[in-house]
Amino acid sequence: MEEALAVAADVGFPCIIRPSFTMGGTGGGIAYNREEFEEICERGLDLSPTNELLIDESLIGWKEYEMEVVRDKNDNCIIVCSIENFDAMGIHTGDSITVAPAQTLTDKEYQIMRNASMAVLREIGVETGGSNVQFAVNPKNGRLIVIEMNPRVSRSSALASKATGFPIAKVAAKLAVGYTLDELMNDITGGRTPASFEPSIDYVVTKIPRFNFEKFAGANDRLTTQMKSVGEVMAIGRTQQESLQKALRGLEVGATGFDPKVSLDDPEALTKIRRELKDAGAERIWYIADAFRAGLSVDGVFNLTNIDRWFLVQIEELVRLEEKVAEVGINGLDADFLRTLKRKGFADARLAKLAGVREAEIRKLRDQYDLHPVYKRVDTCAAEFATDTAYMYSTYEEECESNPSVDRDKIMVLGGGPNRIGQGIEFDYCCVHASLALREDGYETIMVNCNPETVSTDYDTSDRLYFEPVTLEDVLEIVRIEKPKGVIVQYGGQTPLKLARALEAAGVPVIGTSPDAIDRAEDRERFQHAVDRLKLKQPANATVTAIEQAVEKAKEIGYPLVVRPSYVLGGRAMEIVYDEQDLRRYFQTAVSVSNDAPVLLDRFLDDAIEVDVDAICDGEMVLIGGIMEHIEQAGVHSGDSACSLPAYTLSKEIQDVMREQVQKLAFELQVRGLMNVQFAVKDNEVYLIEVNPRAARTVPFVSKATGVPLAKVAARVMAGKTLAQQGVTKEIIPPYYSVKEVVLPFN
């Protein structure tokens, strides 16, 4: 500690503290005074396995860049991709919006940075493989310094691989066993170019992080050098504006573009905007647009954020266009103006909101003008060579390169969008397995997803990959051009499930469980009728659409209660309330309740054992995948509870009751494919808690514990192959125990 204080005296405050051998900025931070400095240093020394800290001068407000470099044993070096951070230094790169290729460098600056990054690899001694070198540039005088390098495949390498189509990890693995870059052929161009050919990009890629602060009331939601995001979304467009707006709608945080965060009538609006710009939080990008609406200049916003003026000008232009749309309304949207707006990435839903009409009316207008996106291929060579790899993104231009096949049966799988708490990689596992199984069966598989962290967005997982936001507009356009035999919505968590009814209404063939059956299970009232018909036991419950009604019903049911809205995943806005005061607080702070969005009240079963059952139904029979007994008592969310397969305290009789109930429910709800049922067992009575007619997050665990690839089996069921035809009809109860435990990063 004495050593650290001596350095601090030298470097001065503010300074940046980073522990050695930790990832995601763990244990680090920015210290503005001695007190903060001591606190961060103590924590950092504790978390660093080597008890080492790096103390740097503060570069807050400098521009941040990254170079992805690959080197082989003969000292051939290539830059796969340059990445520019939209947010200035001071925010961890994993929490920054990033853009590839870098947009605000002159060629001379780029070449200096390129040479410097190669020199760093040689000096450190990275003999082969990929590395990531990060730079900071002082916007006032252009001074360039290296801030860090990772001599390995990193989070940015995964992003660079997706952004360019150059598989860094795959190439690095081959270089490690002695190949050189010129000996390896580029997959995407079908071997027309070697891997030593630097990717050139004729599009812009934007990555936006996804945060989940709403899950942790009271957590510090300001962005610093310690990473806080839980997922990310990536979008590809021909311009910065298009790519940014596509990424915003792919995030699934209720925004269709630059939706306003504050009302300009509010006297506090400007104060709030200034505060949000100066001290960055998860929503700063929307507050920047609000700042332009409120009359701030580009320089005014720059002084508060240190975000390069070039990016700010792009956003300001979009805000001015929005104002024009709101002014002229739908009648002012002629073919030319609408095309201009679509080329800048405006979603139909955003234009509809601005023009005060329904989204379907904008879609109808586009049909009238025959205005549809074309699809371009990611080919690593800016269209210099032809490519057979179908890795595509949409844009509004002339020539379409998608070239869909006409003679094959196709099945489209909708992915889950960005990772978040409650919907993560487990769903991606299911999407990938569906794609693999259907490819084995001779179908052409089409994947639609926008999450760069997943295997489903690898260009070789499916036959055709569309890197697009999973929204109604984007999916309908892909269906229009591909005309698939079926679309699978039950593998990507809630994201595609929410689109099921609208897709069906638009004439899209949704295969598996029908959207109406999904709605019967998800809509709490309709589900209640089904349960009553089957005479199954449930904890006493009620569905309410207003706060006073909730208070009345709560008196009948009795406290404690579990309260939750319809159509949610991962227990979002779900709480246990113990009295009326608690219930009123919940309605005021956690949810907006209405006729369209009813809230469910359930009697909370204290000290009950919770059980998860995964099953597959093909219409003729039901296969129980596994019965998992939770180790924590009911009331701990299933995603946060450890569980055991097979169950370790439940009698055979109780398990048989559950098997029978699952079977009844599957037939009643007409499930085709996967379903997940949650039960609670109290005093030897089985209570039904809920049914999800989709893949659950336990599917990978059950598949690995029993050896039955449930996601593959269910995908084949959806495509029309019965369980009997697949020869999978018996529940496997292993002679050993498998236990799933959760990892919670609360530090």
User: Per-residue pLDDT tens for 444-476?
Assistant: 999 999 999 999 999 999 999 999 999 999 999
Verify cis geometry, omega within 30 degrees of 0, for the bond prior to 560: yes
Confidence (pLDDT) at 472: 97
Structure tokens at 111: 């070449």
Q: Could you tell me which residue, 190 or 622, shows the higher pLDDT?
A: 622
- 144-167 exposure pattern, b = at least 16 Cβ within 10 A, e = fewer: beebebbbebbbbbbbbbbbbbbb
Q: ∠ CA 414-416-418 to the nearest 5 degrees?
A: 135
For the chain, give every domain's residue range: 2-57, 63-201, 540-603, 609-740
Distance in angstroms (rounded) separating the CA atoms of residues 465 and 315: 29
Can you identify the CATH homologous superfamily of domain 2-57? ATP-grasp fold, A domain (3.30.1490.20)
Q: Which of 578, 557, 685, 579 is nearest to 635 (CA)?
A: 578
740: its two tokens: 């799933």
For residues 188 and 70, what is the distance between their CA atoms, to the nearest angstrom?
17
Closest CA to 234 of 159, 168, 132: 159
Q: 540-603 is classed in which CATH architecture?
A: 2-Layer Sandwich (3.30)
Rounded CA gap, 257 and 246, in Å? 8
Name every residue whose Cβ is closer than 8 Å to that of residue 312 and which is 6 or more positions away in sequence. Answer: 288, 298, 301, 302, 305
User: What pLDDT is recorded for position 567?
Assistant: 65
Place of tokens 């008196």: 555
Mean pLDDT check: name the lowest of 481-485, 587-591, 731-735. Answer: 587-591
Annotate 511-563 with DSSP letters as a single string. ESS-HHHHHHHHSHHHHHHHHHHHT----SEEEESSHHHHHHHHHHH-SSEEE
The reported pLDDT for the residue numbered 25 is 76
- For residues 594-606, b (16+ Cβ closer than 10 Å) or e, as one string? eeeebbbbbbbbe
380 or 574, greater pLDDT: 380
Confidence category of residue 487, pLDDT binned at 50, 70, 90: very high
Q: Using 50, 70 and 90 to split pLDDT, how confident is the model at 602? A: confident
| Residues 6+ away with beta carbon under 8 Å from 498 | 567
Distance CA 271, CA 640 (A): 39
Backbone angles phi and psi of 612, in degrees to 5: -110, 135
What sign does the CA torsion over 410, 429, 212, 210 have? negative
Percent of the residues in the chain that have a pLDDT greater than 90, as a whole number:
74
Please tell me the predicted confidence (pLDDT) of residue 478.
98
Sequence-distant (≥ 6) Cβ neighbours of residue 61 within 8 angstroms: 88, 89, 90, 139, 306
Which CATH architecture best describes the domain 63-201? 2-Layer Sandwich (3.30)
Whether 609-740 and 2-57 are alike in CATH topology: the answer is no
Q: What are phi and psi of 79, to 5 degrees?
A: -95, 115
629 pLDDT band (50/70/90 cuts)? very high
Does residue 544 register a pLDDT over 60?
yes
Mean per-residue pLDDT of the chain: 93
Q: How far apart are the first and last CA of the chain?
A: 21
245-254 burial, b at 16+ Cβ within 10 Å, e below that, comes to bbbbbbbbbe
Instruction: Look at residue 570 in the predicted model and tell me its pLDDT.
Output: 60
Give 498-533 pLDDT, tens digit per residue.
Answer: 999 999 999 999 999 999 999 899 887 889 899 999
Say whether pLDDT at 594 is over 60: no
CATH of domain 609-740: 3.30.470.20
Amino acid type, 272:
K
DSSP symbols for 596-628: SS-EEEEE--TTPEEEEEEEEE-SS-EEEEEEE
* pLDDT surpassing 90 at residue 361: yes
Look at 218 and 65; give whichever has higher pLDDT: 65
What does the pLDDT read at residue 516? 93
Which amino acid would we find at residue 106? T
Joined tokens for residue 170:
């795959």
3-state secondary structure 404-415: CCCCCCEEEEEC
Per-residue pLDDT tens digits for 203-248 = 999 999 999 988 887 889 999 988 999 999 999 999 999 999 999 9
H helix intervals, 152-268? 155-164, 168-176, 240-250
pTM: 0.92
Average pLDDT over residues 112-125: 96
Strands 29-31 and 15-19: antiparallel
* DSSP SS3 for 736: coil
Furthest C-alpha separation in the chain: 78
Residue that has been written with the tokens 């329904």 in this structure:
358
Q: How far apart are CA 568 and CA 591, in angstroms?
A: 12
- Report H helices in 50-104: none
Mean pLDDT computed over 265-290: 96
721/728 Cα distance (integer angstroms): 11
The number of residues making up the chain comes to: 747
Closest CA to 562 of 661, 636, 643, 629: 636
What digits encode the pLDDT tens for the residues 188-204? Answer: 998 899 999 999 999 99
